[in-house]
Amino acid sequence: MHLIKAQLTKQLAITAGAAIAILCSSAIAAHAYTDLGNDIHIQYVKVKRPIFTGQYTKVNGKKGHKIITPKGTILKLEATGSTKEGPSFGQLTRGLVSYQKQQHIYQVTKGPELNVKQYNTKYFTPYKLKLPIRTLALQAGNGYTNNKAGNYRPIFYITLDGYLQYYTTARLKHYGVLNSWQSTKTTVVINNPLWTIKPSASVKVNSFKVKGNTSYIYFKKPIKGLAAKKVSAKYYRLAIKKLHSQHQEWRYGDENWQDVSWITYNVGDHPFYNLVDMSAGD
């Protein structure tokens, strides 16, 4: 009788131990997060829980205190990397935000704080922009012309925080901005002053709709230079239709060359284009 009872007690203990092991295993699985560093298709991420991502307040142009990025914020992935046999880290910025918001953010550009070590699904989820034209610089004209006639034509783009920013020819000439890739001061696209100068006009985008290749942008006040249509007592609508991809190569003598790709758009029945790629050699 004592032997049977002992065996039963041992079996119950083993069963209980197995149940605990299963529960522990489930708990571990529930808290297993995916490293995002190997996904080459990610351009933007959405923050799932508050975290420091390398930005500070800007005080008189200098670094102030840390900004804890709140849940729901959309960030741009600039680069990824990893230490030896370690998890990936991501370099994340606020991306192309409005001029007024830029005045309050100091972005770290070097040092350990630039690398977010928790670049995984615990803190971030891959995000695709719902408005396809957001952050694309659209310049007036039928396409890149490779001559002075195409320089300084008006440009506009929609920022990540929802502002349509418009730049007139006069403003672009003042800062030497030829197009979204070239300026008289530098040819490095990321350093083009277009992305940091004050726009000639700016308006908050209240809403948008996307139907096929056309994006409809709604805002409350018109911008001179953009053919928005008044559709109600409060709102104007700008229709932006994506048309065709184009590419052209120019040769200068035996060795010098330039290769450019762009996409054409119809913006309120007027031609605009977005430069996609530009390269040159000699």
Q: What is the per-residue burial (b if ≥16 Cβ within 10 Å, else e) of 199-210? A: bbbbbebeebee
Per the CB < 8 A criterion, the answer to whether 35 and 87 are in contact is yes
Strand ranges (DSSP E) for the chain? Answer: 44-47, 51-59, 62-69, 74-82, 88-93, 105-107, 124-127, 138-140, 155-158, 163-167, 201-211, 214-219, 229-230, 236-252, 256-267, 270-281
- Fill in the DSSP letter of residue 116: B
Indicate the pTM of the whole model: 0.84
Please report, in tens digits, the pLDDT of each residue of the chain (282 residues total). Answer: 444 444 434 444 444 454 444 444 444 444 689 999 989 999 999 999 999 999 999 999 899 999 999 999 999 999 999 877 788 999 999 999 999 999 999 999 888 999 999 999 999 999 999 999 999 999 999 999 888 889 999 999 999 999 999 999 999 999 999 999 999 976 555 678 999 999 999 999 999 999 999 999 999 999 999 999 999 999 999 999 999 999 888 887 666 888 899 999 999 999 999 999 988 776
Which H or E element spans position 21?
helix 2-30
For residue 237, the cross-strand partners are: 218, 229
Query: Between the CA atoms of 262, 250, 154 and 169, what dihedral angle is there, to the nearest 10 degrees?
Result: 160
